[in-house]
Amino acid sequence: METTSEEISNVSLLKDVEYLTTILDEVLLHEGGETLLNVVKEIRVLSKEVRETHDENTQEKIKLKISELEPGIRQKVIRAFSMHLHILNIAEQNYRTRRRREYQSQDANIIQPGSLEAGVKQLMDNNVSPDQITDLLSKLSLELIMTAHPTEATRRTILQIHKRIAQLLTSLDYSYTRYEKKLIKERISNEITIMWQTEEIRQNKPSVMKEVSNGLYYFDRILFDVLPKIHDDLEDLLFENYNQRWTIPSFLRFGSWIGGDRDGNPNVKATTTFDTLKHHRELVLRKYKEAISTLKDRLSHSDSKVDFSEEIRASIEKDRQELNEIGWYKEDEVYRVKLSLMLKKLDYTEQDDPRGYEKSEELLADLQLIRESMMIHHPNHNPVKLLRKVIRQVDLFGFHLASLDVRNHSGEHESALTEIFHKVGIADEYKSLDEKEKVSTLISVLENPRPLISIYDEFSPETSEVIDTIRVIKRAQDTFGLRAIEVYLISMTDNVSDILEVLVLAKEAGLYRVYPNGKVVSRLHVAPLLETIDDLKNGPEMIKQLFEIPLYRKHLEARGDLQEIMLGYSDSSKDGGNITANWELYKAQQDIHAMASDYGVKLKYFHGRGGSLGRGGGPLYTSLLSQPAITLGDGVKITEQGEVLSSRYLLEDIAYRSLEQATSTLLTGIMGLNDDNTKMQPSQEEVDTMSMISEYALKKYQSLVFEDPGFIQYFNQATPLHELGDLNIGSRPMKRKGSNHFEDLRAIPWVFAWTQSRQLLPAWFAAGTGFKKYLEKTDNLEQLQKMYSKWPFFQAIINNLQMALTKADLQTAKEYANMMEDKEISDRIFGQLAEEYEETKAIVLKITGQEELLDNRLNIKESVRLRNPLVDPLNLLQVQLISQLRNEGEESEKYDELLTEALLTINGVAAGLRNTG
């Protein structure tokens, strides 16, 4: 029987894990002697035995062993298990890149699923015509937005070590001599030693500008090269299959919130936003200079050998006169002359000298002049790909690198306008007006071309900051280009007035204007964020009321009849549970899309997903698959945050793989070719089924989270919630404005705490009750099975439940529950969790027809199996340390040492479960 490439890869993965573990053990021996190594090995063996046998006596042995550890060696044991999980992550990354290489090395007929090749082949197999391809490309749009949400527990210094080890592990696959293998092992050993001798925990919270720097790292090292490659490879594949060359629009872009998201983060000011964009431009200009210098080295064509266009010669003369420069010293090498002059103009651009490029479009035009000239003498079927790549880079990144979204809370705008309107005599107390009066007042102000705010007016610091923020958007667009900031997002949008308030502020900054003839000019998309269950249910009616306002319709016309709407997966899940949140999100998209079509308005949905399952996490391509197919054609935006950035974009091969899967899914999704379900909407029966399940699940979820009087106490005491605040993983506070209300707790610590305690409540709780009550009422398991086989949305729900139930662990969760002071509350709530867990697991297995969870996703199942024996001891250590911390109190001499060790366990568990919040 022939061995498959996947089986070969699995064997290779285990081999890599064993190889790296051996090196780690050598480092442990050096750093802690045989005592440390023997303790670590003993706990490993016992932990693996518990997982295989579920023997309670062995579990007690581990707990006893851990409790007997002296503080000095205990910290080393924690670090040893954490590092083991880090090297396991590295081995798995190498496994993914190896699989991709193996597919590419095989016969051309063997295509990796989800690849660009697979997507284009699917188009061909379904007889998609060239005209349809042209239409498809015009609809293709995916924006991925980096956020600074604090969910990356691993320091960037450690991540860079990961990257170097991963590169060495890859090079091992290509080493042939004993000497090469010996050198690689030595270098990996050195990197693991350095990692051991590096501080894992941030000593201070990162500043916003440090977060900006962390985000720019991915553009600098990965995205600047990978994004053009996706576009160029798609262009080549379409040419190969259709024998027709399309100019692929720049459909795949990255944006950012880092430095623009001020909702709940008092550290983000107007000056921060402008400084962020300056850093963006500094990086992109440096990258262009590097790329054009490389082009200058390559394009050595001489006019004694080839003909050049008259246009390129004329442009050189024009540049020479304006710059008073000759360019390249060998005048016959025309492209080198031109590129040297372009480099000089980029120098001037950096210095804000008027002799530089005013806009990125001017740089793009110069590059296109070179390409058009090369068409005279270079084979058209084989373009110079480096030149094509640089042209794509300038088109993608402009002089702004990445569009920066600005976000603020609706209450901030309302408070600012209350003060402004009072000062100018429009309304004594705007905030107290009813919604109808607010809308009427706002429309009246928008219709009046006169400004409200004088340069001599003085306001409170809070209102001044709101005004400065909107003004800095205008300044940014004027300085860095209109694409620098295109969208203003409004958190907690409840009413039409929340949106009109931002337009009024935009009017005061000159971003929005109504002329006497009724013409409207608007330079900013205003996007509501629907993030609670009530917001999602009321969203369609609110948007309809908005579209009924003639003045707002003129604003939309000025923005290309496009309305962006952000959907919040985090707060909706925290508010109503995973099942209900996902269903209300799905319905809201369909309902708003249908309504917008009646008004001739295109919708771009912005999906605010987190990395964890409780916040809409999962692979990028499944995020796209689970949306209503009709919503894909107007463009899609998705947040990429925290640990997702490092897991997807730290290594070039993995970044490419993630982005090509998303592109392939989007290509086929827009054409309605995914999963053999064409463009069909769910049937009424399926909608009714989901609505019934959601209703039952919501009642169950809210009965625990909002109605059980002991729940908040359980959450506070049976998870490491309070210790997370000391981890220093983000500049933003855990709660909005220091509030102690549950509703104002950020969704990230909510999910992070449940994940650490292996309860993972936000990702699965109440699903079992929803399914169970549906089956009790209908006895129609076949309906659920059919939905799972044919409906991508329901398939994503069930597969994410499988993942969550697999990562959760009741035995470990019980240890956290035992930290509760009130045993009655602990027993009651944990009993509910345990019962619901078993119920959910049993029904999920019936729906999927599997014997065990994740039988249909064996790679993930194997990954969890490998990790559990390494994560479990860290959980036990965490419980022990947090219990001691809470007993000792902050005044204790031991407190700082115990806290450090507890934080180390949090880092380790986060590495093991591959997500935090």
Active site residue 344: no
| 476 Rama class: left (phi>0) / alpha (psi -120 to 50) / beta | alpha
Q: Which residues contact 121 (CB under 8 A, 6 or more apart)?
A: 111, 241
Q: Residue 562 corresponds to which tokens in the numbers above?
A: 């496009």
To 5 degrees, how large is the angle CA 743–CA 746–CA 751?
A: 105
In angstroms, the Cα distances linking 46 to 57, 528, 654, 867, 869 are 10, 52, 34, 14, 8
495/435 Cα distance (integer angstroms): 8
Rounded to the nearest angstrom, the gap between the alpha carbon of residue 742 and the centroid of all alpha carbons in its chain is 25
Q: Residue 390 corresponds to which tokens in the numbers above?
A: 């640089």
Q: Which residues contact 219 (CB under 8 A, 6 or more apart)?
A: 254, 283, 397, 401, 402
* Beta-ladder partners of 408: 490
Q: Please, are residues 413 and 501 in contact by the beta-carbon 8 Å criterion?
A: yes
Q: Residue 838 corresponds to which tokens in the numbers above?
A: 């078993």
The one-letter amino acid at 901: E
In angstroms, the Cα distances linking 474 to 268, 488, 520, 653, 795 are 17, 12, 16, 38, 44
Q: Where are the beta strands (DSSP E) in 531-643?
A: 562-568, 602-608, 636-641
* Burial status of residue 330 (CB atoms within 10 A of its CB: 0-12, 13-18, 19 or more): exposed
- Among 671, 696, 725, CA closest to 843: 696
315/354 Cα distance (integer angstroms): 18
Other beta carbons within 10 angstroms of residue 10's beta carbon come to 16
Q: Which of 163, 574, 602, 700 is catalytic?
A: 574
Q: Please, are residues 467 and 505 in contact by the beta-carbon 8 Å criterion?
A: yes
As a dihedral over the C-alpha atoms of residue 428, residue 429, residue 432, residue 438, rounded to 10 degrees, the angle is: 70
Q: Which of 76, 84, 86, 149 is catalytic?
A: 149
Q: Please, are residues 917 and 159 in contact by the beta-carbon 8 Å criterion?
A: no
DSSP one-letter code for 2 = P
137/794 Cα distance (integer angstroms): 28
- Among 763, 756, 762, CA closest to 727: 756
Helix (H, G, I), strand (E, B) or coil at 83: helix
In angstroms, the Cα distances linking 497 to 142, 410, 487, 563 are 29, 9, 18, 16
Helix (H, G, I), strand (E, B) or coil at 525: strand
Q: Which letter, b or e, does each residue of 775-789 get, where b requires 16 or more Cβ atoms within 10 Å of its Cβ?
A: beeeeeeebbebbbe
- Read out DSSP for 228-273? HHHHHHHHHHHHHHHS--------EEEEE-TTTB-TT-TT--HHHH
To 5 degrees, how large is the angle CA 420–CA 423–CA 426?
A: 80
Active site residue 149: yes
List for the chain the helix, strand, coil content (%; round to 5): 70, 5, 25
User: What φ, ψ does residue 494 adopt, rounded to 5°?
Assistant: -110, -30
Helices (H), 651-791: 652-670, 684-705, 711-717, 721-724, 747-756, 761-764, 767-778, 781-790
Q: Where are the beta strands (DSSP E) in 571-664?
A: 602-608, 636-641
481/497 Cα distance (integer angstroms): 29
Q: Which residues are catalytic?
A: 149, 574
